[in-house]
């Protein structure tokens, strides 16, 4: 036995971020196993995870399948666009934040013809303009939108957009990275062909893979479209169907942790119960922040309960770096803003955090603001 050289001497900080997030002790413990990728038990775990994910999307297993892909969430997004859009197909990207922009960047590198409808970061997309664009251009093969734009925390109307896309005949691709597992989503009702999320967001697993919920008929129609081997979704599907295995080395530890995380989601009461906890975290947070004099960036009606952007206080004594560092020293991790037209910071309500954690964060913020001498009102 060797001496343990891992992190010791300080406790885990509480992560109020968009991910990776705070996970339970038992999710971390689940990783203390070595598994062979061809082990029968491990193959059973992959199958179980894939089935549970379809269930979480309220999908009929005859019509939908869940594919797991090594890499972070962005890898899953890249897999969908690189392997399901026909060679001459055009993609419409609906953008109101940094993640929408990133997808357009991915497709420009891939040389996929891309058109965008871009909206301010504090505004939901214009449905009539989407409808008009789809009617005017029948070469659009796929439409993508982000469900919860984690840039601000805004929630986009995926069902309404899905209805328009379905009428046009294009495939519909939703980046539900930061919402899946915490905001109920019905794949068929939203007309979704591809939905991407990852292990380390609202399911509360650890980083290591993304997953793609696919409508089988659309996936099967994408033969020959892949622009890369590693990202070939249909081939990944064939691999799973053939022998239940990943084509290349699977993130075994992250997968067993994820299985534990899925079981804990179920024990908590499923997506509804998780939504309720996060929503409660959100309400405690904004009530406390408003009381101190902080203001949110978004209008309350557009604001989801996943993550909240707060404007910097209007006082020259405020410095985000000092604020962040001081909270960090108190063991609370918040996140910088990503909005282009306003100075904001972000606080997430997701992960293994509860009302008591949010209240402790609020107390630490109050203390920090006092230390900095910042006046909020
Ligand atoms: C976190 C996130 C991503 C990116 O995921 P990575 O795991 O960092 O690659 C993409 N889209 C949204 C909406 C996200 O919240």
Percent of the chain past pLDDT 70, that is, above it, reads: 100
Domain at 270-372: CATH architecture: Alpha-Beta Complex (3.90)
Percent of the chain past pLDDT 90, that is, above it, reads: 96
**Interatomic CA distance for residues 377 and 361, integer angstroms:** 20
- Residue 23 above 80 pLDDT? yes
Question: What residues are paired with 118 via a beta bridge?
Answer: 95
Residues lining ligand 1, judged by CB closer than 6 Å? 18-19, 72-74, 99, 146, 150, 175, 177-178, 198
- Residue 377 above 90 pLDDT? no
Report pLDDT for 319. Answer: 96
- Residue 183 above 90 pLDDT? yes
- Residue 229 above 80 pLDDT? yes
206 pLDDT tier (thresholds 50, 70, 90): very high
Whole-prediction pTM: 0.97
Quote the ligand 1 centre to 371 CA distance (angstroms): 34
Instruction: Specify the ligand 1 atom closest to the Cα of 99.
Output: 11
Q: What is the mean pLDDT of the chain?
A: 97
63 pLDDT tier (thresholds 50, 70, 90): very high
Please choose from 17, 71, 74 the residue to mutate so as to test ligand 1's pocket, defined by most ligand atoms within 8 A of CB: 74
Question: What residues are paired with 65 via a beta bridge?
Answer: 214
3-state secondary structure of 308: strand
Please choose from 198, 231, 346 the residue to mutate so as to test ligand 1's pocket, defined by most ligand atoms within 8 A of CB: 198
Instruction: Specify the ligand 1 atom closest to the Cα of 148.
Output: 13
Domain at 25-266: CATH architecture: 3-Layer(aba) Sandwich (3.40)
Selection from 42, 17, 49, 31 nearest residue 211 by Cα: 49
Distances (CA, A) of 95 to 178, 199, 319: 16, 24, 30
What average pLDDT does range 119-136 have in this prediction?
98
| Domain spans of the chain, in order of start | 25-266, 270-372
């Amino acid at each position: 036995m060797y001496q343990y050289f891992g992190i010791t001497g300080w406790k885990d900080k509480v992560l109020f971020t968009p991910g990776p997030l705070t996970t339970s002790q038992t999710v971390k413990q689940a990783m203390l196993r070595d598994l062979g990728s061809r082990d029968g038990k491990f193959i059973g775990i992959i199958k179980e995870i894939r089935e549970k994910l379809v269930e979480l999307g309220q999908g009929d297993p005859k019509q939908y399948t869940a594919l797991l892909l090594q890499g972070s969430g962005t890898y899953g997004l890249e897999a969908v666009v690189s392997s399901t859009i026909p060679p001459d197909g055009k993609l419409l990207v609906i953008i109101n934040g940094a993640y929408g922009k990133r997808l357009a960047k991915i497709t420009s590198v891939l040389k996929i013809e891309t058109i965008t409808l871009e909206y301010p970061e504090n505004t939901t997309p214009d449905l009539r303009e989407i409808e008009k664009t789809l009617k005017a251009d029948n070469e659009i093969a796929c439409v993508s939108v982000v469900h919860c734009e984690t840039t601000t925390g805004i929630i986009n109307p995926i069902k309404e957009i899905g209805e328009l896309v379905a009428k046009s005949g294009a495939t519909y691709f939703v980046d539900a990275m930061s919402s899946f597992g915490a905001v109920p989503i019905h794949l068929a009702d939203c007309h979704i062909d591809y939905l991407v999320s990852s292990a380390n967001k609202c399911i509360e697993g650890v980083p290591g893979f993304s997953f793609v919920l696919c409508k089988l008929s659309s996936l099967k129609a994408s033969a020959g479209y892949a622009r890369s081997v590693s990202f070939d979704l249909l081939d990944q599907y064939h691999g799973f169907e053939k022998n239940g295995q990943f084509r290349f080395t699977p993130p075994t530890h992250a997968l067993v942790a994820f299985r534990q995380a899925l079981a804990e989601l179920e024990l908590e009461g499923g997506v509804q119960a998780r939504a309720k906890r996060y929503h409660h975290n959100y309400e405690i947070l904004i009530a406390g922040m408003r009381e101190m004099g902080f203001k949110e960036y978004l209008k309350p009606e557009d604001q989801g309960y996943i993550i909240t952007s707060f404007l910097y206080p209007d006082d020259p004594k405020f410095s985000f770096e000092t604020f962040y560092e001081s909270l960090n020293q108190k063991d609370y991790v918040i996140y910088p803003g990503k909005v282009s037209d306003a100075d904001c910071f972000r606080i997430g309500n997701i992960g293994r955090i509860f009302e008591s954690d949010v209240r402790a964060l609020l107390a630490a913020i109050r203390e920090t603001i006092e230390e900095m001498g910042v006046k909020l009102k």
